Structure 1
Amino acid sequence: MRFPTPLFDANATGGNQFGELPEWDLSDLYTAEDSKELRRDMAWLETECADFAQSYEGKLASLDAEGMLQAVRRYEEIDVIAGRIMSFAGLRYYQMTTDADRAKFMADCQDKITAYTTPLVFYGLEFNRLDDDHLSGLIAQNADLARYKPVFDRMRAMKPHQLSDELEKFLHDQSTVGASAWNRLFDETMAGLEFDVDGETLNLESTLNLLTEQDRSKREAASHALAAVFQNNIKLFARVHNTLAKEKEIEDRWRNMPTPQTGRHLSNHVEPEVVEALRNAVVKAYPRLSHRYYRLKAKWLGLDRMETWDRNAPLPMENTRTVDWAEAQKTVMDAYGDFAPEMAELAEPFFSKGWIDAPVKPGKAPGAFAHPTVTTVHPYVMLNYLGKPRDVMTLAHELGHGVHQVLAAEQGELLSSTPLTLAETASVFGEMLTFRKLLEGAKTKEERKVLLAGKVEDMINTVVRQIAFYDFECKLHDARRSGELTPDDINALWMSVQAESLGDVFDFHEGYETFWAYIPHFVHSPFYVYAYAFGDGLVNALYAVYEEGDPDFKSKYFDMLKAGGSKHHKELLAPFGLDASDPAFWDKGLSMIEGFIDELEALES
């Protein structure tokens, strides 16, 4: 069963120095946790799962094409209802992860749905035992069934790795006390952490935000506060990582997965050699990208050496004003509308209908995400808006996800979900449109320099930093196979990739070795992080095609987003003359970052 998860009440608004910030209206899912509609759907789900198993278990091989289509559609409807319930429960929880009632409601929903859907485990296993020629024959007879072939291909890619029916049911049944329980422990711990910065008590999001302050002493104080709290909790975070990595190793071993990354590659429908080509191209480019840029930045900051708290510091000439919500909305909507009016039309309901939750609130999950929910409803975007220019880019990013999810919903529940490698396409493209719009409006050389530097930093964070994260995960999972890892062991792995990726201009303050502890992707989605670099490289190459003036670019672009998960990345990129399996493809994407750094160096002369 696929429950929608985030790449993270009444339609109230919160007023503060940023203007009226929107909050979610979740009533399009359910009006309340005890609503009659939710109770109805939960009861239907229990009955339908049992009926589905009774109708089809042991019988899939005997179905004709029409019967198989009916089975697939019934399974899809179960997926919709289960996803709708869990989306509602999850979004309420993310609004206030420290609320015990919300946490209990989500856990109870997960327990019930896991129990109800356990009888469905047979479906994928039995489907994968179908003879290839028999399945091909059914698909050839029915065009509606043939639509689902990409789903079948992804299911059957797992065929060599599936276990016995009994073991698969056991793994499904105990999932709520496995990884998901450790995920919840991590989330609730993170949301409850408090950081003392110069006598002020802050949550994680607000403390991380200080790392982008103009005042260097504030950045330093925030870094030391983060390090102190992470160190105080480091044994717990090490336990979470050790347990999840060991659990993954056990399951991977039973499934005969050749590497810890294989499961992610299969779910992303991407070949390992493509990811390896991406990783190698980025690592090879470290000296030309991050090392070169940060040496430039050190000079701008008047520093011989940089500390990690200087990495995301604003430039000295940067305007430190905050951006209110109305201006952020207009900036992004204008950029989207200039590219294509229909893109702005798709984005507008997010602002007007309670599809965005923007304020920073006690207990709210940190970060930002776009949650697709289910294809019969609409996505929801979560932000922690603090009025920084980077928050405007985050809005552009998450809104891109939202637009992508709305367009892909046309494919239906089973075909709409885009593999992670392509899931970042619209979000990064939305950022690029917004950046280009701002760059066009730059009135001075200094303003242009600030914008270019900000974009380069965002791209380095998206490409270089995420590939460094990927290498850290690879090292961690590999090391865990040899035994339990102490916090010091994990710290050492973290530092090995940080120095390599950031360059020799950096010093690393005591305590920075623990900063792996707060990265949620390592816990929630092992090896997810390369998708960000994949998406950035892909969008850079796409944008180059756009700038070259392809007259059909916009229609091709919308077709790609509408395809959702119905096509392989080769098929989606072919109309643009691009091929991600070609190593030169990644160099093309990385050259755009180099070009921006070249321009920054030229502005110095």
Structure 2
Amino acid sequence: MNDTEYRTVWNLDSIFNGGSESPELYNHMNNTNVRISELEEMMQKMTPEPDQLGDVLARLREIKVSISQMKSFAICLLSVDPNDQGAQFYRGKALALQSRYDSIGSDLKNVLASIEEVVWGSLLVSENLKDYRFILGEWREEAEREPSREVSDLMADGYHAWGQVYQSFMSSIKVQVRGDELSVGQVINLRTHADPSVRKESHEALMAQWIEHEGQFAQILNHLTGFRLNMYKSMDVDDVLQIPLAQNRIKPETLNAMLSVMEKYKEPFAEYLNVKAQMNGDAKMKSYHFWSPMNHDHQGMEYWEAAALIEERFRAFGTEMGEFAETAFREGWVEAENPPGKSAVAICAGFPMTGESRVFMTFPGTFKGVLTLVHELGHAFHNHAMKPVNGMNKSYPMSLAETASTFAEMIILEAAMDKTETDEEKLFLLDEKLKRSVMNFMNLHSRFIFEKNVHEERKEGFVPAARLNELMESAMEEGYTGALDEVPVHSWIWTPHFYKTESPFYNFPYTFGYLLALHLFARAKETGKGFEEQYMDLLRDSGRMTAEDLVMKHLGEDITEESFWAKGMELCVKDSEEFVELAGSR
């Protein structure tokens, strides 16, 4: 019996009371607009003096968190109700304000780039600029690849709007499965159903939807990618990875080292897929059986049980993390209900002005659902750790965001592994761990290959849906080394990461975060409960240095070397070997 109240519906009124009709939200939008107008006037008289520069940066910081607060609120409202017209209005206004903010940032970057080296050096040692040194250096370098003001002004309706169209279209799709009308998110959750016939039927129902709508989705992806390529062309950016690498503060050498190691270690994971397929009575792993549970005992889990488990394990890791989980669950930071029509995508939205986050998901009552929930709470804890950090240094790259979310998953998986009493339980948990390894080393590699190839072909013109299917099939064959049967060629449609306009190539950051989290978790096991403070120090630094410098500072490791990535990969290989051995003994 649940003696503790774990709310399944989040509390948004504590941020802006009244939803999309909130007078507070309306006033917030107007105040933000006024502050941007004031800063635009100030920029016309801008001179690179330390005091004036410090004033501009302070105002930028305030506007940045203000826009983020408004945008996150609109996203949360639309996750619950994609047809909320008020929320659509505020999301559009937030994007327009963001575009103006970005234009001011571009102007400032050009000012910084024009400063002579001698003057630049004296600026950086100014006391009132000490909190901005990293971001100022980064902006000075970025000036060369900034889009023009004209392009920036077009992005809200000519670029980011395509991502919004995708989200709205996906949310509008209803799927019939065994007489029930379900959202895409609910049908995707059926991938973990204990009954293989349900998994197959839900897969086929989704396939029918993708075939019916593939032309429309192809248009969205083509227009989005085409805009991005034209924008890059205007910025003299030839390599489509240049911007994503810069956004993630990763050197090309680091990405190449990670990809090289990933390709060398695929065989053990292909073996795992083959063994699991044989246990299901198949010669090869069928795509719609990949998420199948190893047994039925772990399927039924109430939301309050999941919340209590996460709270307990977070507290075992550290006091700060435990208190954070208690606050999140008791004060309504999580939206977990499972009604029709909800968005298909789990998200974490940060509210930097109030130092809170909100987590949105459709909790399906499975262990996979627990891991999805804890993944998003990992993002929220990262936001929590950043509360004392200067607002301009709160923006951490996606690769490090995925480190925190994956680390949170590992806390739950490790705790569950420690409590296993039978080989069957151990197989179940090894399977859950290996699913994540396969996703990070095979599936995400497939996405990386697909996205690169789509960008290359889009340079030559429109890429029709049939060709996108071929590119997806080829990428998945390469990514999975042929270990997957009935390849889901339409996964380019239901993978939302391809439509994230603010984060192109949102694939390799997951793998980066996964492998880095393995290193951090290994350190945590060596250090014990005292590691929490070191972990939070790393998270707080994540917005003010490169990935290479961050890992060197806190782990003493060089991530441009393959040896770093091999250490993490070898831990995952051990899981595969143990799974294969246990499966064989059965």
Category of TM-score, reference length = shorter chain: over 0.9
Alpha-carbon deviation of 1:488?
1.3
CA offset digits 1:142-181 (Å, max 9, x no partner): 1x41211121122123122135xxxx22222222211221
- Measured in 1, the distance between the counterparts of 2:537 and 2:188 equals 38
Q: Secondary structure at the match of 2:489?
A: helix
Q: Report if the CA contact (8 A) 2:182-2:341 is conserved.
A: no
**Displacement, 1:569?**
2.0
Distance in 2 of aligned mates of 1:68 and 1:214 = 60
Check whether the contact 1:212–1:313 (CA below 8 A) recurs between aligned residues: yes
| AA in 1 matched with 2:169 | T
**1:407–1:561 CA contact under 8 A, matched in 2:** yes
Q: 2:84 — aligned with what?
A: 99
Decide whether the 8 Å contact of 2:151 with 2:231 is kept in 1: no
Corresponding residue of 1:302: 281
| Alignment deviations for residues 108-141 of structure 1 (CA, whole Å, 9 cap, x no partner) | 4544664687566523332332223322211213
1:277-321 alpha-carbon deviations (Å, 9 max, x no partner): 2122212222222x1110110122122233211111122x34254
Distance 1:196 1:97, change over 3 A: same
Structure 2 Cα separation of the partners of residues 43 and 102 of structure 1: 16
- Cα distance change on mapping 1:506 and 1:468 into 2, 3 Å: closer
Offset, 1:81: 1.9
The counterpart of 2:244, out of the listed 259, 264, 287, is: 264
Matches within 5 A, 1:119-134: 121-134=106-119
SS for the counterpart of 2:363 is: coil
The superposition leaves residues 170-216 of structure 1 with CA deviations (integer Å, 9 ceiling, x where unpaired) of: 22222221122111111011001111223332110111112211211
Q: Structure 2 counterpart of 1:601, which letter?
A: V
CA contact (8 A) 2:378 2:406 kept: yes
- Contact 1:473-1:527 within 8 A present in 2 as well: yes
1:498 aligns with 476
Question: Is residue 602 from structure 1 mapped to residue 581 from structure 2 by the alignment?
Answer: yes
1:235: how far off?
Answer: 0.5
Distance 1:306 1:321, change over 3 A: closer
Q: Which amino acid aligns with 2:210?
A: F
Question: TM-score scaled by structure 2?
Answer: 0.93
Question: Which of 563, 572, 578 is the aligned partner of 1:593?
Answer: 572
1:523 equivalent among 495, 499, 513: 499
What is aligned with 2:235?
A: 255
What is the match of residue 370 of structure 1? 348
Secondary structure class of the residue paired with 1:158? helix
Match of 1:174 among 154, 162, 177: 154
- Matched-pair contact (CA < 8 Å) for 2:386–2:540: yes
Residues 1:111 and 1:419: Cα distance change in structure 2 (over 3 Å):
closer
Of 494-503 and 214-223, the range deviating more from structure 2? 494-503
Residue 60 of structure 2, aligned match among 64, 71, 75:
75
1:514 corresponds to: 490
Residue 526 of structure 1 and its aligned partner are, at CA, apart by 1.8
Give the percent of matched residue pairs that are identical in Structure 1 and Structure 2: 24
CA distance in 2, matches of 1:258, 1:596: 40
Indicate the SS of the match to 1:201: strand
| Superposition deviation, residue 549 in structure 1 | 4.2
Alignment-derived partner of residue 391 in structure 2: 413
Whole-angstrom CA distance in 2 between matches of 1:120 and 1:149: 15
Counterpart code for 2:570: S
Q: Secondary structure at the match of 1:148?
A: helix
> Retained in 2: the 8 A contact 1:49–1:120?
no
Change (3 A) 1:70 1:108: closer
Asked if 2 retains the 8 angstrom alpha-carbon contact of 1:157 and 1:266, the reply is: no
Name the structure 2 match of 1:242. 222
Deviation of 1:413 after TM superposition, in Å, equals 1.8
Q: Which amino acid in structure 2 is aligned with residue 197 of structure 1?
A: V
Alpha-carbon distance change, 530 to 145 in structure 1, aligned in 2, over 3 angstroms:
same
Q: Show the 5 A alignment for 1:385-424.
A: 385-424=363-402
Consecutive unaligned residues of structure 1, counting only runs of 5 or more, are 1-15
Instruction: Return 5+ residue gaps in structure 2 as ranges.
Output: none
In structure 2, the CA distance between the partners of 1:198 and 1:325, relative to structure 1 (3 Å rule), is closer
Q: Are the aligned partners of 1:332 and 1:396 in contact in 2 as well (CA < 8 Å)? A: yes
* Structure 1 residue 99 displacement after superposition: 3.1
Q: What is the TM-score normalised by the length of structure 1?
A: 0.90
Deviation at 1:535, TM superposition (A): 0.5
1:60 aligns with 2:47: yes
8 Å Cα contact 1:242/1:480 also seen in 2: yes
Contact 2:186 2:340 in 1 (8 A): no
CA distance in 1, matches of 2:563, 2:308: 37
The 1:219–1:385 alpha-carbon spacing in structure 2 relative to 1, beyond 3 Å, is same
- Corresponding residue to 2:28 among 37, 41, 60: 41
Mark the CA change 1:105 to 1:541 in structure 2 (over 3 Å): closer, same or farther.
Answer: closer
In structure 2, what is the Cα distance between the partners aligned to 1:111 and 1:577? 42
Shift of the alpha carbon at 1:485? 0.8
Matched, 1:149 2:169: no
Aligned residue identity for 1:245: T
Asked if the contact 2:76/2:360 (under 8 Å) is kept, the reply is no
TM-superposed deviation, 1:347: 2.1
Equivalent position of 1:161 in the other structure: 145
| 1:126 counterpart SS class | helix
Cα distance change, pair 300–113 in 1 and its aligned pair in 2 (3 A): closer
Which whole-Å deviations, capped at 9, do the CAs of 1:399-446 have from their partners, x for residues lacking one? Answer: 111111111121122101111121112211111111011111112111
Q: Cα deviations across residues 428-466 of structure 1 (Å, max 9, x unaligned)?
A: 111111101111111211111111111111222133211
CA contact (8 A) 2:185 2:342 kept: no
Matched, 1:344 2:322: yes
Any conservation in 2 of the 1:53–1:120 contact (CA below 8 Å)? no
Amino acid at match of 1:156: R
**2:182 paired residue number:** 202
Q: CA deviation at 1:275?
A: 1.1
Task: Tell me which of 487, 505, 511 is aligned to 2:465.
Answer: 487
1:396, 1:431 within 8 Å by CA — same for their partners in 2? yes
Partner of 1:6: none
CA deviation map 1:319-339 (0-9, x unaligned): 254111111012111211111
Contact 1:182 1:244 in 2 (8 A): yes
- After alignment, is 445-454 or 49-58 more displaced? 49-58
Alignment RMSD (CA, Å)? 2.3
Cα–Cα, structure 1 residues 450 and 270, in superposed 2: closer, same or farther, change >3 Å? same
**What is the distance in 2 between the residues matched to 1:203 and 1:321?**
21
* 2:312 equivalent among 320, 324, 334: 334
Name the aligned partner's letter for residue 507 of structure 1.
Answer: D
Aligned positions, number:
578
Instruction: Determine if contact 2:6/2:329 at 8 Å carries over to the other structure.
Output: no
- Once residues 549 and 104 of structure 2 are traced to their aligned partners in structure 1, the CA distance between those partners, rounded to angstroms, is 35
Residue type of the alignment partner of 1:558: M
* Greater mean deviation of Cα atoms: 50-59 or 171-180: 50-59
Letter paired with 2:140: R
1:103–1:409 Cα change, 3 Å: same
Q: CA shift at 1:42, angstroms?
A: 2.6
How far apart, in 2, do the equivalents of 1:112 and 1:531 lie? 27
SS of 1:27's equivalent in the other structure is coil
Supply the distance in 2 between the matched residues of 1:403 and 1:119 (Cα, whole angstroms): 31
1:89 to 69, 74, 79: 74
Q: Distance in 2 between matches of 1:532 and 1:99?
A: 31
| Residue aligned with 1:147, SS | helix
Equivalent runs, 1:562-601 vs 2, <5 Å: 562-574=540-552, 575-601=554-580
2:301 match: secondary structure:
coil
CA deviations over 1:479-507 (Å, ceiling 9, x no partner): 11122111111111100121223344432
Separation (CA, whole Å) in 2 of partners of 1:277 and 1:118: 35
